[in-house]
Chains A and B, each alone.
Chain A
């Protein structure tokens, strides 16, 4: 293991783990996702070292990997049955019950919209911050979030 990854883990591991747990709602899933994030980071070290904010890069990778896991059908089935996962992860700023509901939406949403929704609604990023993480314009972030909300409202109203 590259010592630079050990250092990266030392500085950012808890942050990635907390985010993964917040998005996924399950500790074991979160650990696996965090592990994958740092394995990806090992492959991307030259890119990472050139960035001013490693945190920004890790946010994007963590979001993508966690959303992929949420979309996994087996995990979605588990998500539906895990009401206890509404418990608020330590250090979380979000309402745990709403987070549980949002997770279900994220599992089915358009991937790009889901990515923007996690950053803006779960992590509380401004559109400017989210735009930087995603590498798109602020307007695009706004559009993605707006479409997610419209779709989410329809989805929730259609739910029994």
Chain B
């Protein structure tokens, strides 16, 4: 038998480098090593994706229970690389027709219930996120792996038409921005969303790395993005509002 200490492909970056990339803590050297290996080695690329998907193991309820961790969305408060958010052309088109056209391949009522690590507060609407990559449009789970250029579409189910709604994004450093409506003011669901509950427009992800969050926030009364607060690990919303969180992992 070969020596047991020769157990890894020697040309692969260390697990520490991989994990640092996944948590957004990588040094430029670690990032470069991981990127270079992923570019040349499909097996390593597959491992990287498996490892990133493994972040969703956090849905392990038993472990959360053991730790007594609250089932609230985690939000980084540490300094982190900048995140740039760009609205895709879909936003310019806006409106229900554009949203409906994008989702033409999905049957009405087909969207599954929230899964993955989506965190839905009591009384909150269900929050669905769709990723358009190239020509493919798929519903994605919280904690899925994303890359620069992916375009996100959002859908909320279970809202009453008079409820005010917006999707807020939280960058790794805790900064808030508006995914939709991009102006940052919540709009009545009955006016903003199409019959399926889909938000108009799409958001294109930039090249920043790490874990970010998208929060569906809905309230009976009008509210603005500026009414929301990121307080260390939680998104604070006005009293009586509902929230659902979705984790965006960009290794």
Which A residues form the contact surface with B (CB < 8 A)?
1, 3-7, 9-15, 17-19, 31, 34-35, 38-39, 49, 52-56, 59, 90-91, 93-95, 98-99, 101-102, 105, 117, 119, 121-126, 129, 133, 148-149, 152-153, 156
Contacts and interface: CB of A to CB of B under 8 A. Distances in A.
Interface of B: 1-9, 12-17, 19-20, 22-23, 25, 47, 50-51, 53-58, 60, 62-64, 66-70, 72-78, 211, 232-234
A148 B6 CA distance: 13
A90 B1 CA distance: 24
Question: Which are the 4 A-B pairs with shortest beta-carbon distances?
Answer: A10-B74, A6-B69, A101-B4, A98-B7
B68 A1 contact: yes
A13 B63 contact: yes
28 contacts: A1-B69, A3-B232, A3-B233, A6-B74, A7-B74, A13-B57, A13-B58, A14-B57, A15-B55, A17-B63, A52-B25, A55-B20, A90-B54, A91-B50, A93-B47, A94-B8, A95-B8, A98-B3, A101-B1, A101-B4, A102-B7, A105-B4, A124-B14, A126-B14, A129-B16, A133-B16, A149-B3, A156-B3
Given A54-B25, A99-B7, A93 B50 contact: no
Contacts of A124: 8, 12-15
Nearest to B74: A10
A152 B17 CA distance: 27
A94 B57 CA distance: 20
Contacts of A55: 16, 19-20, 23, 25
A15 B50 CA distance: 12
Contacts of B77: 7
Nearest to A12: B23
Contacts, number: 149
B229 to A, nearest CB: 14
B211 A93 contact: no
B74 A54 contact: no
A6 B25 contact: no
Nearest to A8: B74
Say whether chain B's binding surface is mostly helix, strand, loop, or mixed.
loop
A55 to B, nearest CB: 5
A31 B62 contact: yes
A123 B20 CA distance: 13
A13 B14 CA distance: 18
Given A4-B232, A125-B14, A133-B16, 10 more contacts: A6-B72, A12-B23, A15-B22, A19-B15, A31-B62, A54-B23, A93-B12, A119-B16, A123-B15, A124-B14
Contacts of A122: 7-8, 15
Nearest to A54: B25
B69 A5 contact: yes
Given A3-B233, A11-B76, A12-B23, A98 B6 contact: yes
A35 to B, nearest CB: 5
A62 to B, nearest CB: 11
Nearest to B20: A55
A11 to B, nearest CB: 5
Nearest to B22: A15
Contacts of B12: 93, 124
A6 B9 CA distance: 34
A3 B72 contact: yes
Given A90-B50, A124-B12, A152-B3, A4 B233 contact: yes
A1 B67 contact: yes
